[in-house]
Structure 1
Amino acid sequence: MGKARMLFALSLVVVLLLVETTAPHGQAHAIDCGASCSYRCSKSGRPKMCLRACNTCCQRCGCVPPGTAGNENVCPCYANMTTKNGKHKCP
Structure 2
Amino acid sequence: MPGQRKRKRQKQEARQRHAAEYAEYAKGSWQVVYETQDYDEWQAYLRRLRAERTYDEESKLRADTFCGRLVHPTTYRLSVLVSADSAVAPSAGE
Give TM-score scaled by structure 2 length. Answer: 0.32
Larger relative CO (CA 8 A, sep 6+): 1 or 2? 2
Which of the pair is proportionally richer in strand? 2
Which of the pair is proportionally richer in helix? 1
